[in-house]
Structure 1
Amino acid sequence: MAQLTTKTSKIKPDGARALSWGALLIAGLCALPMLAVLLAAVSGGTETVEHLVDTVLEGYTRTTLTLVCLVALGTFAIGVGAAWLVTMTRFPGVRIFEVALVLPLAFPAYVLAYAYTHVLDHPGIVQTSLRALTGWGPRDYWFPDIRSLGGAALMLVLVLYPYVYLLARAAFLQQSGTTFLAARALGSSPWAAFFKVSLPLARPAIAGGVLLAVMETIADFGTVAYFGVQTFATGIYTSWFSLFDRVGAAQLALCLLSFALLLAMLERLQRGDAKYHDPSRRAKVAPPLQLKGGKAALAVLLCAVPVLFGAALPIIVLFAMGLGSEQNLLSERYLGFIQNSATLASIAAIVTVCAAICIGFFQRMKTSRVSQAAAYVARLGYAVPGGVIAVGLMVPFATFDNALDAWMRSTFDISTGLLITGSIWLLIIAYMVRFLAAALGAYEGGQAMVHVNMDAASRSLGQGPIGTLRRVHLPILAPSLLTALLIVFVDVMKELPATLIMRPFNFDTLAVQAYRLASDERLEGAAVPSLVIVAMGLLPVILICRQVGRR
């Protein structure tokens, strides 16, 4: 006892105060873009608002809402249907499909847009072959236009349905089969039991997946910009760069921000405090339905279609396009693109995961309204599109740089120029704000395995908060932190609007190069950087597939 008392008396607050201030600073940086957009939009007066209302606001609203509805319906149908088939039925290849259905998550939607435009556009192989076989001229037939609102929705559905699939499948796996078997015993068919029992029980998870897909939809810029679909995301970029209307961009960003935060609130409300409890201690697993003949063939077809069109076919098309291009992946220029992308993604991943550790451990160390609010604000960044974050950071930091430069000129006759605006570090902050929620989710998922008694034991042995974090938490959380690093790394590789707006001068990435070549209709050239982005995206997807396989 005397020895224990001696050790306990040596406990020192090793950086707890610094950790708390760091967490609050991170939360403040996450809130800054939203506050800056609000202030810039309000201070711009009503003239710009009236002009937007008279010209483009109605069209942006209608197009964005239509796109959101189409993507929500498409991801729901494919994600829930595929999750139910691979979880509750058995057919040839089901074990392969339960993993393969996740693969489209590695693709940015704009990469699919480049691939399918190359195939389905007027000069593409499909229409060229059709004209050669029939002898028709360009005006003798009708063919669906891939560069349309429907085409953009299709591209987004193909890459976003895995959000719904993963959450729905997890919900179906966690359900006890007791209620499903009870419905079957009362005379319901398997499909009727699914709609009456399994689907309502999985509703919160499915709704969460659909809302994630919707938030990614309103944040998308590359796909809609390439297809010429006028949404709020394209309007913000056009106002900022083409029209040089900062106030108009801020007011459009405020509209999009309001919609994104509304979706985030709906996601939180639909979860609420609802819980499902199975009163039976003898929970049974529902026996899977054995599909045979035509039903088995139909199940294989339904699962194969999203994998084929969301992953397999785009890879084949992009590879064929890349072989026919004049882009040299090993040239000094392309090695520079890869280095820039890898540098940005690596630094952003490390900074974001460190921020997630700071926020998450602060919330565990000091459970209070302040820590809860800091964690909530940090999660809001995922609901804010990259273009909004870019505008929200550029406005205050540009104001600061200009004010500092003016003061230095008048006082010391020295021009400081733009110290922060246009720097790589401001872009890193934007990435951190955008993807902190993903890293925080992975960190908190691993932190749940660290029992509170471990913290108490660490304190009794003389360790302070930082010592407990370094010696107890981090070794246990290593797999979760690695997952967070990979997820943020790939998200940064795919991020386009924030990179386009905020990147330093003459500092291009693979995503920017792919967008630039595609904008010039050099699709074969755009395939090369797109393939590298996809290859990088496969890393976390393979990790997710391993987790699915273990489950």
Structure 2
Amino acid sequence: MTPILALAWEALHGSSDLWPHLFAFVLPTALTQTLTLLLGVGILVILIGTGSAWLVTAYDFPGRSTLEWALLLPLAVPTYIIAYAYLDILHPIGVVQGAIRAVLGYSSPREFRLPDIRSMTGCIVLLGFVLYPYVYITTRAMFLTQAANLIEAARTLGTTRSRIFWRVALPLARPAIAVGVSLALMEALNDIGASEFLGVKTLTVSVYTTWITRSDLPGAAQIALAMLFLVIALIVIERWARRRQRYSLTAQRNRSFTPRKLGGFAGWMAFCSGFVPVFIGFVAPAAYLAIEAWKRFHMAGLSRQLVSEASNTIIMSAVATAIVLVFGIAVAYAMRLRPGRFSGVAYRLSTVGYAAPGTVIAIGILIPVAALDQFIDRNAMSWFGFSTGLLLIGSGAALIYAYTVRFLAISAGAAEAGFSRIPISFDQAARSLGQDATGTFRNVHLPLSKTALAAAGLLVFVDCMKELPATLLLRPLNFETLATHLYGEAARGTYEEASIAALAIVLIGTLPVIVLAGVGRQKA
């Protein structure tokens, strides 16, 4: 809670003259573009995620088993990389537009060119094709658990097969869709690279430019506070929309309904329609990155700078992952040892950072950490006669703190889910054999929960590695990671220089996708 409270303190105690300026010139444009982006991305991820989930659940066609896990692959591509890749792929003098002009008989971009991808529409489309797996995962899981007797009852009441989706499956899947859309919108709101590259001035971009370009921390804090209110509003609206909905299951064992067999032309059309989002969201950018990375490696090899940046990325992500896992286990185990209202509230407060964008967390952390740095420096100078400088910020401790706040919810949720599967009788048996709470955790809970904790650690590591806003704002001087290197090269327009870093991020990002795909096949 410290970053959130510090942010509110800085925003409320900043210059009062800033608020009229923000309301008059900054917030209207930034808020309008942010809401437009969120609305467009929300509609697109619902259409793609829900449609693809129903396709691979309700129909059986050639390539369906491959498509089930391939639809998860865009999760491996961070939003700023998809923008970076398509800015070069769809460049007016690039391969794609050049091939289209050759087919149509045009010779130059002046005669024919596609609409500029640097626009609100381009940003919505690209983010939608990267973030739809959030809806696909939750909605497909809901479709898989829907009972066949509900479908059969609807058919006996005269509902046609084509209307089953609209009358039965979709209403029952609304909670899952709402959860997936909420996650996708949080990611869209957290984005800074794609929005800036594509010319969309969101609240996140405004926070970054106000802080870095104008050196106005109070103004950035006030915009960040507005972002925090927007996040809270999104959560409240999602809960309000489902306030009167109730769902129940029968006590009988439900049968999953049998998918409809599609063969011939219909089957291949179903596969092609499901492969389109995979191609746009993963195959095309990954292939481009692989080609450009090979060209760069063949021409200049692997630079020492890139090796250093990869090392920085791995070390910071690994340290943050270890800390996040320890804190997540502590929070979840406290709930098991002392279940009650206090532990439940503490658990929710400890995971609130996951809902806040990285820029909001970064500013909230900078304020108390910078004050602590100054306190340490003054006392070191007074007591020992030397200056410590920016000890916490300069060492990267502030960045580790930001990663911990952002991703603690992942480890805490995984640990809590793992512990909940262990019967309380196991604890009682361990206590009767002389084990205390620590011994029970070490000998019973930890071994039985190691799979869930390992998966959480992998997710946290990859998320830390991909995190751009907080890394940009809190990294020490002359400290680069793969993500910040990519951002810098893309901002300068030298896309080919960052292709190896981008490909490395995508390849490592496929690891949790492989884990999710394995879990999905087990459930299916």
The normalised TM-score by structure 2 is 0.95
The answer to whether the Cα contact below 8 Å between 2:119 and 2:199 also exists between their aligned partners in 1 is yes
Aligned position for 1:516: 488
Aligned position for 2:260: 289
Which of 53, 59, 71 aligns to 2:41? It is 71
Q: In structure 2, how many angstroms separate the alpha carbons of the residues matched to 1:337 and 1:329? A: 15
2:489 is aligned with what amino acid? Answer: L
Q: In structure 1, how many angstroms separate the alpha carbons of the residues matched to 2:455 and 2:374? A: 40
Deviation by residue 1:371-395 (Cα, 9 ceiling, x = unmatched): 1111101221111111111100001
1:183 is aligned with what amino acid? Answer: A
Answering whether residue 316 of structure 2 is matched by residue 381 of structure 1, we say no
Aligned position for 2:96: 126
The answer to whether the Cα contact below 8 Å between 1:264 and 1:383 also exists between their aligned partners in 2 is no
Q: In structure 1, how many angstroms separate the alpha carbons of the residues matched to 2:447 and 2:251? A: 38
The answer to whether the Cα contact below 8 Å between 1:176 and 1:278 also exists between their aligned partners in 2 is no
Answering whether residue 140 of structure 2 is matched by residue 169 of structure 1, we say yes
Gaps of 5+ in 2: none
Q: In structure 2, how many angstroms separate the alpha carbons of the residues matched to 1:82 and 1:129? A: 30
Q: In structure 2, how many angstroms separate the alpha carbons of the residues matched to 1:157 and 1:463? A: 51
Which of 486, 499, 502 aligns to 2:458? It is 486
Answering whether residue 386 of structure 2 is matched by residue 405 of structure 1, we say no
Deviation by residue 1:83-142 (Cα, 9 ceiling, x = unmatched): 111111111111111111111111101111121111101121122334445234433335
Q: In structure 1, how many angstroms separate the alpha carbons of the residues matched to 2:386 and 2:75? A: 50
Q: In structure 2, how many angstroms separate the alpha carbons of the residues matched to 1:461 and 1:273? A: 48
Which of 190, 202, 213 aligns to 1:231? It is 202
Answering whether residue 477 of structure 2 is matched by residue 505 of structure 1, we say yes
Q: In structure 2, how many angstroms separate the alpha carbons of the residues matched to 1:59 and 1:257? A: 17
Q: Given the superposition, is the C-alpha separation of residues 150 and 459 from structure 1 closer, same or farther in structure 2, using an over 3 Å criterion? A: same
Answering whether residue 320 of structure 2 is matched by residue 348 of structure 1, we say yes
Q: In structure 2, how many angstroms separate the alpha carbons of the residues matched to 1:461 and 1:155? A: 57
The answer to whether the Cα contact below 8 Å between 2:203 and 2:223 also exists between their aligned partners in 1 is yes
**More moved, 270-279 vs 165-174:** 270-279
Answering whether residue 51 of structure 2 is matched by residue 81 of structure 1, we say yes
Q: In structure 2, how many angstroms separate the alpha carbons of the residues matched to 1:373 and 1:269? A: 21
Q: Given the superposition, is the C-alpha separation of residues 477 and 273 from structure 1 closer, same or farther in structure 2, using an over 3 Å criterion? A: farther
2:192 is aligned with what amino acid? Answer: F
The answer to whether the Cα contact below 8 Å between 1:328 and 1:334 also exists between their aligned partners in 2 is no
- Superposed displacement of residue 207, structure 1: 0.6
- Superposed displacement of residue 169, structure 1: 0.6
- Superposed displacement of residue 314, structure 1: 1.3
Q: In structure 1, how many angstroms separate the alpha carbons of the residues matched to 2:15 and 2:332? A: 40
Q: In structure 1, how many angstroms separate the alpha carbons of the residues matched to 2:251 and 2:435? A: 44
Q: In structure 2, how many angstroms separate the alpha carbons of the residues matched to 1:135 and 1:522? A: 27
Q: In structure 2, how many angstroms separate the alpha carbons of the residues matched to 1:527 and 1:290? A: 42
The answer to whether the Cα contact below 8 Å between 2:145 and 2:256 also exists between their aligned partners in 1 is no
1:120 is aligned with what amino acid? Answer: L
- Superposed displacement of residue 178, structure 1: 1.2
Aligned position for 1:53: 23
Which of 189, 205, 229 aligns to 1:258? It is 229
Aligned position for 2:117: 146
Q: Given the superposition, is the C-alpha separation of residues 330 and 140 from structure 1 closer, same or farther in structure 2, using an over 3 Å criterion? A: closer
The answer to whether the Cα contact below 8 Å between 2:146 and 2:257 also exists between their aligned partners in 1 is no
Answering whether residue 152 of structure 2 is matched by residue 181 of structure 1, we say yes
- Superposed displacement of residue 498, structure 1: 0.5
Q: Given the superposition, is the C-alpha separation of residues 273 and 509 from structure 1 closer, same or farther in structure 2, using an over 3 Å criterion? A: farther
The answer to whether the Cα contact below 8 Å between 1:264 and 1:380 also exists between their aligned partners in 2 is no
The answer to whether the Cα contact below 8 Å between 1:117 and 1:124 also exists between their aligned partners in 2 is no
Aligned position for 2:416: 444
Q: In structure 1, how many angstroms separate the alpha carbons of the residues matched to 2:31 and 2:83? A: 22
Secondary structure, counterpart of 2:460 in structure 1: helix
- Superposed displacement of residue 269, structure 1: 5.4
Q: In structure 2, how many angstroms separate the alpha carbons of the residues matched to 1:288 and 1:128? A: 43
- Superposed displacement of residue 400, structure 1: 2.3
Deviation by residue 1:511-534 (Cα, 9 ceiling, x = unmatched): 111111111111111211000001
- Superposed displacement of residue 485, structure 1: 0.7
**More moved, 470-479 vs 418-427:** 418-427
The answer to whether the Cα contact below 8 Å between 2:97 and 2:113 also exists between their aligned partners in 1 is no
> Size of the alignment, in residue pairs?
521
Q: Given the superposition, is the C-alpha separation of residues 153 and 300 from structure 1 closer, same or farther in structure 2, using an over 3 Å criterion? A: same
Q: In structure 2, how many angstroms separate the alpha carbons of the residues matched to 1:363 and 1:328? A: 54
The answer to whether the Cα contact below 8 Å between 1:204 and 1:270 also exists between their aligned partners in 2 is no
Aligned position for 2:433: 461
Aligned position for 2:366: 394
1:501 is aligned with what amino acid? Answer: L
Q: In structure 2, how many angstroms separate the alpha carbons of the residues matched to 1:39 and 1:390? A: 15
Q: Given the superposition, is the C-alpha separation of residues 421 and 284 from structure 1 closer, same or farther in structure 2, using an over 3 Å criterion? A: closer
Deviation by residue 1:260-279 (Cα, 9 ceiling, x = unmatched): 12223445556679653333
Answering whether residue 189 of structure 2 is matched by residue 243 of structure 1, we say no
Answering whether residue 191 of structure 2 is matched by residue 220 of structure 1, we say yes
- Superposed displacement of residue 82, structure 1: 0.6
**More moved, 515-524 vs 283-292:** 283-292
Gaps of 5+ in 1: 1-30
- Superposed displacement of residue 401, structure 1: 2.0
Aligned position for 1:317: 288
Deviation by residue 1:36-76 (Cα, 9 ceiling, x = unmatched): 11110000132111111221211100100011011111111
Answering whether residue 172 of structure 2 is matched by residue 204 of structure 1, we say no
Which of 39, 43, 49 aligns to 2:9? It is 39
Q: In structure 2, how many angstroms separate the alpha carbons of the residues matched to 1:479 and 1:282? A: 27
Q: In structure 2, how many angstroms separate the alpha carbons of the residues matched to 1:405 and 1:535? A: 42
The answer to whether the Cα contact below 8 Å between 2:182 and 2:234 also exists between their aligned partners in 1 is yes
Deviation by residue 1:334-361 (Cα, 9 ceiling, x = unmatched): 1111111110111111111111100000
- Superposed displacement of residue 412, structure 1: 6.0
Question: Among the aligned pairs, what percent are the same residue?
Answer: 40
The normalised TM-score by structure 1 is 0.91
Q: In structure 1, how many angstroms separate the alpha carbons of the residues matched to 2:422 and 2:5? A: 36
**More moved, 213-222 vs 463-472:** 463-472
The answer to whether the Cα contact below 8 Å between 2:52 and 2:136 also exists between their aligned partners in 1 is yes
Q: Given the superposition, is the C-alpha separation of residues 101 and 336 from structure 1 closer, same or farther in structure 2, using an over 3 Å criterion? A: same
Q: In structure 1, how many angstroms separate the alpha carbons of the residues matched to 2:210 and 2:254? A: 58
Q: Given the superposition, is the C-alpha separation of residues 407 and 347 from structure 1 closer, same or farther in structure 2, using an over 3 Å criterion? A: closer
